[in-house]
Amino acid sequence: MLTRQQIERVVAMALEEDAPHGDITSQTLVPATASATADLVAREPGVFSGGEVFAAAFTMLDPDVKVTIGTADGDLFLRGDVLASVSGSARSILQSERVALNLVQRMSGIATLTMTYVALVADTKARLVDTRKTTPGLRALERHAVRSGGGHNHRYSLSDAVMAKDNHLAVVRDNLGEALQQARRDLPHTTHIEVEVDRLEQLDEVLASGVVDTIMLDNFTLDDLRAGVAHIGDRAIVEASGNVNLETIRAIAQTGVDVISVGALTHSVRSLDLGLDMSVS
């Protein structure tokens, strides 16, 4: 759940970054008494995300600015649709415009791409999830956008679950089973344990520990994914990762994996083309 505190922290940072000493263009050219209205208009179709963030970019700078969000997060829209409207001080709207657009465009781009991926696995049991490959400082917003597009979230941070990846295994490779069992003894019973493997031969040692909740099959071929799913059975959740894109995800889902993690949802996304059409009132 995207909280108000998370929104305000990001928006405050962005507003300070964009106008550390005010908007000198608007202050110089635009009368202080001028009022304006503006519509957030879609230049292309997509999935909306970030309505509260868009509004906060205006109201945190100037509480007297009125923002009406006409499209809910997760809703589809078409080119030309008006997604939100803003009215109030022209100076305030102009100063907040870029921050509001930057954030809502990126979030809607993530939601749109996510929905495209979700559609490709809709009739399989695979759950589409994001990764920690997010823009520093924007993780809460980007992960909300993934949910807007119908996807799910992986662990939020390093503090949320044990996830032993290749570099961890390189350190404890001679005592992996023992290290996993000790982790289970030390951790609360509610803590999830996941282990990444990059070849089938690693599965037996991981399974023998008896404490692993999820096994990630990283960069496996389709044949090896099928073999891994069959070998693991119901002893752990099976996650596929690596080499996942719009061309490969359906075949990966059809191998029977439970989860597919896709870093591209957040690290390779294109911001959607949304514009703020403004008029002086």
Q: Which candidate in 132, 155, 165, 226 is catalytic?
A: 165
Residues 212, 168, single domain; the answer is yes
pLDDT, residue 185, reads 95
pLDDT, residue 159, reads 95
**In CATH, what number is assigned to the domain containing residue 212?**
3.20.20.70
Tokens of 41: 């208009």
Give catalytic status of residue 218 as yes or no: yes
Q: Which candidate in 81, 97, 130, 196 is catalytic?
A: 196
Residues 134, 231, single domain; the answer is yes
Residues 236, 213, single domain; the answer is yes
Report the alpha-carbon distance of residue 120 to residue 246 in Å, rounded: 8
Q: Which candidate in 98, 184, 235, 250 is catalytic?
A: 98
Ranges of the chain with pLDDT below 70: none
pLDDT, residue 280, reads 83
Residues 129, 261, single domain; the answer is yes
Residues 26, 81, single domain; the answer is yes
Residues 17, 142, single domain; the answer is no
pLDDT, residue 18, reads 97
Residues 250, 127, single domain; the answer is yes
Handedness of CA 115, 120, 124, 128 (dihedral sign): negative
The residue range of the domain holding 12 is: 4-118+270-280
Residues 151, 79, single domain; the answer is no
Residues 69, 157, single domain; the answer is no
pLDDT, residue 102, reads 98
User: Angle at the Cα of 19 (from 274 to 90), degrees rounded to 5?
Assistant: 60
Whether 103 contacts 10, CB under 8 Å: yes
**In CATH, what number is assigned to the domain containing residue 58?**
3.90.1170.20
Report the alpha-carbon distance of residue 245 to residue 265 in Å, rounded: 10
Domain count, the chain: 2
The overall pTM is greater than 0.85: yes
Report the alpha-carbon distance of residue 96 to residue 15 in Å, rounded: 7
Q: pLDDT tens across 174-208, in order?
A: 788 888 999 999 999 999 999 999 999 999 999 99
Q: Which candidate in 133, 184, 235, 250 is catalytic?
A: 133
pLDDT, residue 174, reads 72
Tell me whether strands 76-77 and 214-218 are parallel, antiparallel or unpaired: unpaired
Q: Which candidate in 18, 198, 213, 218 is catalytic?
A: 218
Residues 237, 135, single domain; the answer is yes
The DSSP code sequence of 56-76 is: HHHHTT-TT-EEEE-S-TT-E
Residues 129, 262, single domain; the answer is yes
> Taking Cα atoms as reference points, which of 154, 179, 114, 170 lies closest to residue 240?
154
Q: Three-state SS for 120?
A: helix
Using CB atoms within 10 Å of the CB of residue 158, give its burial: 0 to 12 exposed, 13 to 18 middle, 19+ buried.
exposed
Give catalytic status of residue 174 as yes or no: no
Give catalytic status of residue 165 as yes or no: yes
Residues 100, 151, single domain; the answer is no
pLDDT, residue 6, reads 98
Q: Three-state SS for 165?
A: coil
> Taking Cα atoms as reference points, which of 6, 51, 21, 44 lies closest to residue 274?
44
